Amino acid sequence: MKDHPTPTVTTGPLPASRKIHVAGERHDISVPMREIALTGGPPLTVYDSSGPYTDAAARIDISHGLPRWRGAWLRARGDVGETDPRPVAPADNGFAEGARLTPEFPTRHRPLRAAGGRAVTQLAYARAGIITPEMEFVAIRENEGRAAAHSRDGEPFGAAIPDLVTPEFVRQEIAAGRAIIPANVNHPELEPVIIGRNFKVKVNANIGNSAVTSSMEDEVEKMIWAIRWGADTVMDLSTGRNIHNIREWIIRNSPVPIGTVPMYQALEKVGGVAEDLTWEIFRDTLIEQAEQGVDYFTIHAGLRLHMIPMTAKRVTGIVSRGGSIIAKWCLHHHRESFLYEHFDEICDIARAYDVSFSLGDGLRPGSIADANDEAQFAELRTLGELTKIAWEKDCQVMIEGPGHVPMHKIKENVEEQLKHCHEAPFYTLGPLTTDIAPGYDHITSAIGAAMIGWFGTAMLCYVTPKEHLGLPDRDDVKTGVITYKLAAHAADLAKGHPGARARDDALSSARFEFRWQDQFNLGLDPDTAREMHDETLPAEAHKLAHFCSMCGPKFCSMKISHDIRAEAERQQGMESMAEKFRDGGDLYIPAPEAGE
Amino acid sequence: MKDHPTPTVTTGPLPASRKIHVAGERHDISVPMREIALTGGPPLTVYDSSGPYTDAAARIDISHGLPRWRGAWLRARGDVGETDPRPVAPADNGFAEGARLTPEFPTRHRPLRAAGGRAVTQLAYARAGIITPEMEFVAIRENEGRAAAHSRDGEPFGAAIPDLVTPEFVRQEIAAGRAIIPANVNHPELEPVIIGRNFKVKVNANIGNSAVTSSMEDEVEKMIWAIRWGADTVMDLSTGRNIHNIREWIIRNSPVPIGTVPMYQALEKVGGVAEDLTWEIFRDTLIEQAEQGVDYFTIHAGLRLHMIPMTAKRVTGIVSRGGSIIAKWCLHHHRESFLYEHFDEICDIARAYDVSFSLGDGLRPGSIADANDEAQFAELRTLGELTKIAWEKDCQVMIEGPGHVPMHKIKENVEEQLKHCHEAPFYTLGPLTTDIAPGYDHITSAIGAAMIGWFGTAMLCYVTPKEHLGLPDRDDVKTGVITYKLAAHAADLAKGHPGARARDDALSSARFEFRWQDQFNLGLDPDTAREMHDETLPAEAHKLAHFCSMCGPKFCSMKISHDIRAEAERQQGMESMAEKFRDGGDLYIPAPEAGE
């Protein structure tokens, strides 16, 4: 690192916000949340995935990484031990050398793994009746400081979200396979998060360099930037050189679960020639990444040889990168993939580090024309079979879903997934509801994401405006995250989540009372809201004005609404008027204008 | 105009596009469409609302206005005559003088109105069994050059969209009140458009200056800009000074129907004091605007005195500008509004010019908390009563709807509207599905708009990113229109519209075949898509590349899909493989590698 100055990353609280911590009752844990101060009324506490970067008291140095505070929980369980790390090979970084080699992360930590073949997964603990610190952490976190349910109504489609989440409820959900806490024992920097249908809908942001562009500094900043705006997990989809070293920097600085598609790195190791992949190379890559602390692996083991011809008549063939790679391998070697054949062994690795599975949908549709076809649902049923195998090994599982799906075919996806995958959490990419808007696919997909989240998807993988067009930059990452946060929140509202409406109501009250600053600060993106308001009414005084440039003072309906209420109060109180007028029927007879 | 240079506006075709015209069979009409040339395969013809501005052959001078080509149809009907125009009063322009007065449009046309009290509405003609040129025009337009249905499936929720729209079908739908063609006899520049549940979902864009900002030049350009990107109608919501003159400039240059809320101008005429409004001032304003050629009026006649107290406990009170104004009037005077009491006379005016009604939802919810409440649905039922009155007078009607509605309460809005308003077309603003994302309300509302369009809403009123924050500028207008076009298209797809998927399939095929230029040009916003691609791969050669910067060459799933298809063909043809593998079941036995 001598020649590399420590990169600076975005830090500091969001506007009017401070980090608060809620202590555990069972365990010595401290759950961070964000408190938004309001000019009118008590502060609002909201879920906070941003980690120490938004804590004014935190000292951030990404060359040190985040505090490894979860280490104490891991040691206390006494079921893991340090092992000699797998040596880093030149192939792990794509044979990058000299100035082209991303420097190693300065500190090497010895990896942990299960001692004596034990299952060290949250699923194993849950089944054994153990409430881990991770479980209590997420229980507190999901409640967002609430002591009771807020106003709730909704259509949950079979989801059963309690008014308040208890650690025991978390344990039961994990034991049933309906939720997961991706939490590799080698990721002690983690602030645990739960993914399941009976919890808040989560959002994943993809980052990662490609062979064509970007660097370690960019990717670490993208991760921090993505969680600042609310990403609950981050997938590092790097390809090209330096994959190993970039990933290490990301994980050591990430408070959120990191997911990967190990196939990408494996393919780099064989020079991009899919046919040259072997189980041994793949297996070695899994261990490499598990030792680094990757929290969940996308594994495309559900794509079987006999399904490939089902894609022959598709408009867009196979659009999953991992799926297309393994399909090519299968077809070339004319046999089932090593992912499918060695899935048992893959589970053994995952169980030793508690890497969760995200069973990949290699045959997801890449266009409206291909939605819900034979190939897609054939693979889904195999993912259900693999789920049972993973569960037998005490591994945590979620299931990936599409993709491109018109609105009328979205619900079937959730119903089929729940049925064939035994209620394992569903994790979908969008879906995009039309193909005709490149440049706006964050929106075509937010429509589908909100709906599929409502129907029961546990986590939504974001789509940025650059989808189909290029590698997203920092602005695209933010736009993608905010878009998906609002979609996830719309889903929570529609499901009747007991806490969701508190923020809507607080913001709408601020709007009605012309508390502009509160309106900005309660929004998902206070900076953009404030900038937009500033464009036409920049003066500070206008932040107290009882109108905006959209309608101007005379035409502000909210201002007039206040006048109406004042007038009604003056006349006799709206409540009693309501009683009086209720019998009014068609022909209202004006009351005598006494007293006017 | 001597001191004012003619403003320049945006003209010229969209990329790779040209204007084509389809001739009528019954009438001497010529229906414009847009043909998109492709580098691979035949061109695609799409609906085109952009008017002559995108016709390379058109000569545009906004001080002349568009050709008044519909005049011949009007004269041929022989049921309208020229009248002396209502004199323009200083109050019509808010007493603007000198340099602050927007210049008059250079040409004064004598207004037309019905001769001898006749109904000159499309509804009256439809009921009389007459297929007007307007009806044939929209029939041809809806078919987009198709000779048959494209691949269709969907869930129409009771909509009945034919494979091909015939003029007679249009007539029947209008006669039944299920569709309208807003077409004032004083708007001969119009290219007619049909709004109804059994036609393509339409999009309205709001423009208009406010007392705080903007000018005539800005507003004319915003109108032209909005229709360039696909707005089907435009509402001029101007307030402040110069309303009359700005509107004249807009209508004389608009090929799309123009809607207004006459209450806004009436309020300006009484200096912004709602209590001082009178029926006489309002009536005079209706005639003023009808003579100019406004195609539809938003009238908030459904808001009745006894409903006002129902808003007392709302989080955001009354959020409709027109609604709040009339509510204030009602409460002050303690009587039913002159809109309600004089609705008969309002119909008589509308019928003499064929101004359609957009019955306003003055009590729409302005927050998630207020959705689907007593006030909202009470007003909706009154709108249903007014619909019947308007229909008795042969007036065309659509019904406005919310607003802010969480996803699980959207469908009820359509069901209630269909039931209580007798299937008159529904025209909704969004709805926004959460309140927590100021700056992104085009997206919170696109989710709701796509869904409500699917359920049966005929036209979606756009929301821009500036909603709740300020007056939208040109960029916001474009973002709002594109966002709503994609939402409307997603709705068409889900309804099973017989033509909708053609564009998705064409674009997805272009994507799969690496025809980048076609992919951009088939999108709703070719410029943005191209710019985004250029950001990382600017070279022209990359527009032919079989990869993009998102995944790079080795990880392009589509490239690999092509390899897979080639490999499969080489081996034995995927189709026969499909047969062979279909029996594969769980245990696939590799075929002997003969020939390899």
In the predicted structure, residue B221 carries a pLDDT above the cut 80: yes
Spell out which residues of chain B touch residue A444, defining contact as CB-CB under 8 Å: 486, 490
The Cα of B580 is separated from the nearest Cα of chain A by a number of Å equal to 8
8 Å CB contact between A322 and A388? no
CA–CA separation, B484 vs B475, rounded Å?
14
Least confident of A223-227, A362-366, B467-471: B467-471
CB contact under 8 A, B568 and A490: no
In the predicted structure, residue A588 carries a pLDDT above the cut 50: no
Strands A179-180 and A195-196 turn out to be: antiparallel
User: Tell me, what's the pLDDT at A576?
Assistant: 59
User: Exposure pattern of B306-344 as b/e (b: 16+ CB <10 Å)?
Assistant: bbbbbbbebbbbbbbbbbbbbbbbbbbbebbbbbbebbe
pLDDT band for position B552 (50/70/90)?
A: confident
Strands B356-359 and B397-401 turn out to be: parallel
CA–CA separation, A13 vs A518, rounded Å?
16
Nearest CB to A211: which of B309, B554, B588? B554
Instruction: Using only the alpha carbons of chain B, give its radius of gyration.
Output: 26
8 Å CB contact between A464 and B506? no
What residue of B is the nearest CA neighbor of A449?
Answer: B447
User: Tell me, what's the pLDDT at B56?
Assistant: 96
User: Tell me, what's the pLDDT at A398?
Assistant: 98
User: Tell me, what's the pLDDT at A2?
Assistant: 40
In the predicted structure, residue B188 carries a pLDDT above the cut 60: yes
CA–CA separation, B381 vs B301, rounded Å?
12
User: Tell me, what's the pLDDT at B592?
Assistant: 36
Residue A6 belongs to some domain of the structure? no
3-state secondary structure of A529: helix
What residue of B is the nearest CA neighbor of A434?
Answer: B490
Q: For residue B539, give its domain range.
A: 514-575
pLDDT band for position B514 (50/70/90)?
A: very high
The Cα of A219 is separated from the nearest Cα of chain B by a number of Å equal to 14
Spell out which residues of chain B touch residue A523, defining contact as CB-CB under 8 Å: 436-439
Is A41 an interface residue toward B (CB < 8 Å)?
A: no
**Same domain, yes or no: A274 and A416:** yes
* DSSP codes joined into one string, A217-234: HHHHHHHHHHHHTT-SEE
**Same domain, yes or no: B290 and B406:** yes
Mean pLDDT of B516-523: 97
Of B463, B558, B44, B469, give the one whose Cα is nearest residue A443. Answer: B463
CB contact under 8 A, A151 and B328: no
User: Tell me, what's the pLDDT at B589?
Assistant: 34
* Bridge partners for B22 per DSSP: B31
Is A447 an interface residue toward B (CB < 8 Å)?
A: yes
Is A565 an interface residue toward B (CB < 8 Å)?
A: yes
Domain boundary among B466, B500, B534: B500
Task: Please state the length of chain B.
Answer: 596
Residue A583 belongs to some domain of the structure? no
The Cα of A233 is separated from the nearest Cα of chain B by a number of Å equal to 20
In the predicted structure, residue B587 carries a pLDDT above the cut 60: no
CA–CA separation, B232 vs A363, rounded Å?
38
**Same domain, yes or no: B307 and B444:** yes
Spell out which residues of chain A touch residue B150, defining contact as CB-CB under 8 Å: none
**Same domain, yes or no: A533 and A446:** no
Angle between helices B410-420 and B374-392 (to 10 degrees): 30
pLDDT, averaged across chain B: 92
In the predicted structure, residue A561 carries a pLDDT above the cut 60: yes
CA–CA separation, A249 vs A219, rounded Å?
9
The Cα of A559 is separated from the nearest Cα of chain B by a number of Å equal to 9
CB contact under 8 A, A505 and B469: no
Residue B300 assigned to a binding site: yes
Neighbouring CB atoms inside 10 A of A99's CB total 6
- Which residue in this structure is represented by tokens 């007879």? A589
Answer positive or negative: Cα dihedral of B51, B53, B54, B58.
Answer: positive
Spell out which residues of chain A touch residue B501, defining contact as CB-CB under 8 Å: 368-369
Tens of pLDDT, residue by residue over B405-435, are: 999 999 999 999 999 999 999 999 999 999 9
Spell out which residues of chain B touch residue A537, defining contact as CB-CB under 8 Å: 212, 470
Tens of pLDDT, residue by residue over B313-335, are: 999 999 999 999 999 999 999 99
Nearest CB to A408: which of B368, B494, B591? B494
User: Tell me, what's the pLDDT at B573?
Assistant: 61
The Cα of A14 is separated from the nearest Cα of chain B by a number of Å equal to 15
Is B392 an interface residue toward A (CB < 8 Å)?
A: no
| E strand or H helix that includes residue B262 | helix B262-269
- Which residue in this structure is represented by tokens 């190791």? A269
The two three-digit tokens of residue A569, written as one number = 């109060």
Q: Where are the beta strands (DSSP E) in B25-102?
A: 30-36, 44-46, 80-82
Domain boundary among B461, B476, B500: B500
CA–CA separation, B80 vs B120, rounded Å?
8
Of B494, B488, B524, give the one whose Cα is nearest residue B506. Answer: B524
In the predicted structure, residue B596 carries a pLDDT above the cut 50: no
Rounded to 5°, the CA angle B46-B48-B54 comes to 120
Spell out which residues of chain B touch residue A569, defining contact as CB-CB under 8 Å: none
User: Tell me, what's the pLDDT at A289?
Assistant: 98
Interface test with B, best of A407, A432, A495, A525 (most B CBs within 10 A): A407
pLDDT band for position B576 (50/70/90)?
A: low
User: Tell me, what's the pLDDT at A211?
Assistant: 61
* DSSP codes joined into one string, B345-365: HHHHHHHHHTPEEEE--TT--
CA–CA separation, A393 vs A133, rounded Å?
22
Is B450 an interface residue toward A (CB < 8 Å)?
A: yes
8 Å CB contact between B367 and B316? yes
The Cα of A45 is separated from the nearest Cα of chain B by a number of Å equal to 14
CA–CA separation, A414 vs A420, rounded Å?
10
Nearest CB to B369: which of A318, A508, A565? A508
CA–CA separation, B431 vs B416, rounded Å?
15
8 Å CB contact between B267 and A555? yes
Of B428, B337, B508, B66, give the one whose Cα is nearest residue A404. Answer: B508
> What does residue A20 show for φ and ψ, rounded to 5 degrees?
-120, 165
Tens of pLDDT, residue by residue over A82-121, are: 999 999 999 999 999 998 999 999 999 999 999 999 999 9
Mean pLDDT of B352-363: 98
CA–CA separation, A139 vs A554, rounded Å?
48
- Name the burial class of residue A209, with classes exposed (0-12), middle (13-18) and buried (19+) by CB atoms within 10 angstroms of its CB: buried
CA–CA separation, B69 vs B188, rounded Å?
6
**Same domain, yes or no: B470 and B542:** no
3-state secondary structure of A105: coil
Is A575 an interface residue toward B (CB < 8 Å)?
A: yes
CA–CA separation, A350 vs A347, rounded Å?
5
CA–CA separation, A367 vs A433, rounded Å?
9
Q: Where are the beta strands (DSSP E) in A452-554?
A: 459-461
Question: In Å, how far are A82, A155, A301, B553, B587 from B581, measured between CA atoms?
Answer: 46, 42, 18, 30, 11
The residues near B13 (Cβ < 8 Å, ≥ 6 apart) are: B19, B54, B55, B56
User: Tell me, what's the pLDDT at B583?
Assistant: 41
User: Tell me, what's the pLDDT at B586?
Assistant: 35
The two three-digit tokens of residue B377, written as one number = 């649905």
Mean pLDDT of A246-253: 97
Taking only residues 324 to 383 of chain B, the set having a beta carbon closer than 8 angstroms to any beta carbon of chain A reads: 324-325, 327-328, 331-336, 366-369
Predicted structure pTM score: 0.95
Type of residue found at A431: P
Residue A263 belongs to some domain of the structure? yes
Q: Give the CATH number, domain containing residue B191.
A: 3.20.20.540
- Which residue in this structure is represented by tokens 């705080």? B212
CA–CA separation, A193 vs A281, rounded Å?
31
CB contact under 8 A, B486 and A151: no
| E strand or H helix that includes residue A207 | strand A202-207
The Cα of A544 is separated from the nearest Cα of chain B by a number of Å equal to 13
In the predicted structure, residue A579 carries a pLDDT above the cut 60: no
The two three-digit tokens of residue B318, written as one number = 């009354």
Share of chain B above pLDDT 70, in %: 93
What residue of B is the nearest CA neighbor of A520?
Answer: B438
8 Å CB contact between A405 and A372? yes
Higher pLDDT, B236 or A563: B236
The two three-digit tokens of residue B237, written as one number = 């919501």
**Same domain, yes or no: B493 and B552:** no
**Same domain, yes or no: A273 and A406:** yes
Is A266 an interface residue toward B (CB < 8 Å)?
A: no
CB contact under 8 A, A267 and B555: yes
**Same domain, yes or no: B405 and B438:** yes
User: Tell me, what's the pLDDT at B584?
Assistant: 38
**Same domain, yes or no: B70 and B178:** yes
8 Å CB contact between A263 and A292? no
The Cα of A255 is separated from the nearest Cα of chain B by a number of Å equal to 25
The two three-digit tokens of residue B352, written as one number = 């003499």
In the predicted structure, residue A544 carries a pLDDT above the cut 50: yes
pLDDT band for position B176 (50/70/90)?
A: very high
Domain boundary among A468, A500, A532: A500
Of B314, B267, B563, B483, give the one whose Cα is nearest residue A327. Answer: B563
* DSSP codes joined into one string, B559-577: HHHHHHHHHHHHHT-HHHH
The Cα of A584 is separated from the nearest Cα of chain B by a number of Å equal to 7
User: Tell me, what's the pLDDT at A6?
Assistant: 61
Give me the torsion for CA of A284, A289, A291, A293, rounded to 10°: -160
User: Tell me, what's the pLDDT at B591?
Assistant: 35
Share of chain B above pLDDT 90, in %: 84
Distance of CA B518 to the CA centre of its chain: 26
Residue B72 belongs to some domain of the structure? yes
CB contact under 8 A, A407 and B454: yes
CB contact under 8 A, B470 and A444: no
Angle between helices B557-571 and A321-333 (to 10 degrees): 20
CB contact under 8 A, A267 and B490: no
Spell out which residues of chain B touch residue A366, defining contact as CB-CB under 8 Å: 508, 511-512, 557-558
Residue B508 belongs to some domain of the structure? no
In the predicted structure, residue B581 carries a pLDDT above the cut 80: no
In the predicted structure, residue A213 carries a pLDDT above the cut 60: no
Spell out which residues of chain A touch residue B507, defining contact as CB-CB under 8 Å: 435-436, 438
The two three-digit tokens of residue A474, written as one number = 């920092």
Spell out which residues of chain B touch residue A486, defining contact as CB-CB under 8 Å: 434, 436-437, 440, 443-444
The two three-digit tokens of residue A288, written as one number = 């490499």
Taking only residues 276 to 315 of chain B, the set having a beta carbon closer than 8 angstroms to any beta carbon of chain A reads: 304-312, 315
Instruction: Using only the alpha carbons of chain A, give its radius of gyration.
Output: 26
In the predicted structure, residue A212 carries a pLDDT above the cut 70: no
Residue B588 belongs to some domain of the structure? no
The two three-digit tokens of residue A200, written as one number = 């808040």
Strands A17-23 and A30-36 turn out to be: antiparallel
Interface test with A, best of B343, B434, B485, B583 (most A CBs within 10 A): B434
**Same domain, yes or no: A496 and A522:** no
Answer positive or negative: Cα dihedral of A193, A197, A199, A201.
Answer: positive
CB contact under 8 A, A564 and B331: yes
Rounded to 5°, the CA angle A184-A186-A188 comes to 90
pLDDT band for position A159 (50/70/90)?
A: very high
Nearest CB to B305: which of A491, A536, A581? A581
Residue B235 assigned to a binding site: yes
CB contact under 8 A, B155 and A408: yes
Instruction: Tell me the CB-side half-sphere exposure of residue A486, using CA atoms within 13 A.
Output: 32
Residue A223 belongs to some domain of the structure? yes
Residue B206 assigned to a binding site: yes
User: Tell me, what's the pLDDT at B542?
Assistant: 75
Residue B593 belongs to some domain of the structure? no
In the predicted structure, residue A122 carries a pLDDT above the cut 60: yes
Structure letter (DSSP) for residue B421:
T
Residue B347 assigned to a binding site: no
What is the greatest pairwise CA distance in chain B?
Answer: 93
Nearest CB to B435: which of A308, A440, A507? A507
**Same domain, yes or no: B326 and B409:** yes
Q: Is the ipTM of this complex over 0.85?
A: yes
* DSSP codes joined into one string, B18-43: EEEEEE-SSSS-EEEEEEE--SSSS-
**Same domain, yes or no: A438 and A462:** yes
Number of domains in chain A: 2
